Copies of this chain bind each other. A is one copy, B any other.
Amino acid sequence: MNTTDPQQRKNVLVVTAHPDPGSLTASLTGFAVEHLRASGHEVRVSDLYAMKWKAVVDADDFPDHTPGRRLDVMGASERATLSGRLTPDVVAEQEKVLWSDAVVLQFPLWWFSMPAVLKGWFDRVFSAGFAYGPAVPPPYGDGAALAGRRALVSVTAGAREGAFSDRGIHGALPHVLHPVQHGLFWFTGMAPLEPFAVYGANELPEEDFARARQAYAARLDGLFTEEPVAFRSLSGGEYDRGMRLLPGTETPGTTGLDLHVRGVRG
């Protein structure tokens, strides 16, 4: 399993959020870290519960903010970022993101989205001037602020796999995760892979967990070789100045969120 080619040695940041160190999420995180290291990669972990990560953006995030004055979050965030006056916890996470060649998120799907503490990691770490805003390159694609990185979302879900499909009542997982895949990763230039999921996670028999680890290992092995989701770039000539997809660009019959993926989703 050891990769000896130094070209293939990459930096991976694993960000995870679950309150129980004995949870399936924690097991999968541990498995991913070991597997990636055994493959020769450098791995750093942000375990948000263990770090007691501050989830909520507020005035304390901007030491230069005058108490009692208006708090324009985007403006304050950008000023603090550009002047190097963000709080040390945020700076440390930004350094990890910049160090990384890939980010892996491991979290339980709570209400079809991230646990609050992980959303708060993005709210605080992906500051204006770092991940978005007028001071960085335009969003959506290879030229955006955090381009050059890959992203893999790995979730656990209580529901069965069939219920997470186009016809399944929850919707297809890539659509449910659109705000993360497209709105967070692709927006900031990171190339997201198709998400990985372990379903039926509330009561997972040991043999299913073994199968899940095997499937996860295969995805982790492809972290730097798999084809990312073919989201369209804002600068790729497919959108007009109002950021609307040009007529006739899509494969006929494609609608909704799939309009923003090249070709037809599999």
Contact = CB atoms under 8 A, between A and B. Distances in A.
A115 interface: yes
A243 B178 CA distance: 21
A132 to B, nearest CB: 9
Interface in A161-195: 162-163, 165-172, 175-176, 178-179, 182-184, 187
Number of copies: 2
A5 interface: no
A20 B244 contact: no
Given A55-B56, A113-B113, A171-B260, A165 B71 contact: no
Nearest to A74: B202
Contacts of A255: 166, 253-256, 258
B162 A244 contact: yes
Interface stretch (A8-16, A96-104, A119-127): A119-127
Chain A: number of interface residues, binned into ranges = 35 or more
A55 to B, nearest CB: 4
A242 B170 CA distance: 11
A139 B200 CA distance: 17
A214 to B, nearest CB: 24
A73 B20 contact: yes
B111 A123 contact: yes
Nearest to A254: B255
Name, among A19, A172, A242, the residue most crowded by chain B CB atoms within 10 Å (CB to CB). A19
A140 B168 CA distance: 12
A230 interface: no
A57 B19 contact: yes
Which 4 A-B residue pairings sit nearest by Cβ, starting from the closest? Answer: A116-B120, A112-B183, A112-B179, A20-B71
